[in-house]
Amino acid sequence: MKNLVLAKRYCQGLLGAIHNQDEYALIFRELESFARLMQDQKELRVALTTPFLPASKKQKITQEILKRLSLQPKSARFLNLMVENDRLDLLGDILELLPDLWNQARGVATFDVLSVVPLTPQQQRNLQDKLEHIEQGPVALKFRQDPSLIGGLSLRKGNMVYDVSVSGSLERLKEKIIEG
């Protein structure tokens, strides 16, 4: 992430204006849609992020786009604020942080789950049930594949890592052998 602290501030400001899960989901989808538009339209991305175009022109371009997309007022205000402050380049980072911060604000623990192969829906549900029991509250799981694990799972919650993978076990064994 380019500027984690700044992206986090924008996320927290946005989350302070969101009142419920439905509103969050709608705003998140709209921001993702705008980010995809910028990703797909190179000329638009360059125009809105270049330091050589005056802010007033960027705002006019953004206003026209927002009219055509007919976004919710909060989404539109947020994007206008980012353009006004020349921070639209942070949108990808914000979209990456937003779900975790939303969950955190609601008391939901977020885990990144890495596995060699995709887990079945039943395995996902079993893992979620066990983690909810351990955490004594709701959890959100983000599943990804990592072939370097060889087998097993690696779970990450914030800075804590629970590694029950084959590669993790081999690494711990190697450390014990080196220590003597």
Q: How confident is the model at residue 128, as a pLDDT?
A: 93
Q: How confident is the model at residue 159, as a pLDDT?
A: 81
Asked whether residue 29 falls in the same domain as residue 96, the answer is yes
Number of structural domains the chain divides into: 2
> Residue 12's pLDDT band (boundaries 50, 70, 90)?
very high
Q: How confident is the model at residue 33, as a pLDDT?
A: 93
What is the average pLDDT across 58-77?
A: 90
Tokens (6 digits) for 35 = 């980010």
Q: How confident is the model at residue 34, as a pLDDT?
A: 93
Asked whether residue 22 falls in the same domain as residue 86, the answer is yes
Asked whether residue 87 falls in the same domain as residue 113, the answer is no
pLDDT in tens, 21-63: 999 999 999 999 999 999 999 998 888 888 888 888 988 998 8
Last residue of a domain, one of 72, 103, 134: 103
Last residue of a domain, one of 103, 134, 160: 103
What is the average pLDDT across 78-88?
A: 92
Asked whether residue 94 falls in the same domain as residue 158, the answer is no
Last residue of a domain, one of 43, 75, 103: 103
